[in-house]
């Protein structure tokens, strides 16, 4: 199992990025959360099977549409097993 946190920068707010991230995570059976940051970035934590998390991260790099643009994505491995039961949008 893989547990990661990430911070995505670029044109990622106001373009449906959080909901795209949530939908993509659910399609890969990943649990965690996603939220907008005050500085215009989007942050998330994701937990799931190693290969599923890797595929999920590749999809997130592409973004939800031509209106979004991921310029940078910093991913950090976390340790432990979180107690998430779903993937939620946080406000």
Which positions are annotated as active-site residues? 18, 36
Q: How far is CA 31 from CA 26, 27, 66, in A?
A: 7, 10, 26
φ/ψ of 53, rounded to 5, equals -65, -40
* Rounded-to-integer distance, Cα 82 and Cα 68, Å: 29
Place of tokens 């995570």: 25
- CB atoms < 10 A from the CB of 50, how many? 9
């Amino acid at each position: 199992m893989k547990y990661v946190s990430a911070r995505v920068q670029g044109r990622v707010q106001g373009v449906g990025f959080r909901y795209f991230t949530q939908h993509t995570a659910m399609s890969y059976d990943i649990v965690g959360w996603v939220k907008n940051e005050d500085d215009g970035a989007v942050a998330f934590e994701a937990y799931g099977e190693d290969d599923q998390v890797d595929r999920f991260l590749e999809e997130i790099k592409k973004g939800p549409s031509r209106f979004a643009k991921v310029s940078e994505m910093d991913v950090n491995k976390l340790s432990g097993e979180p107690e998430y039961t779903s993937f939620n949008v946080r406000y």
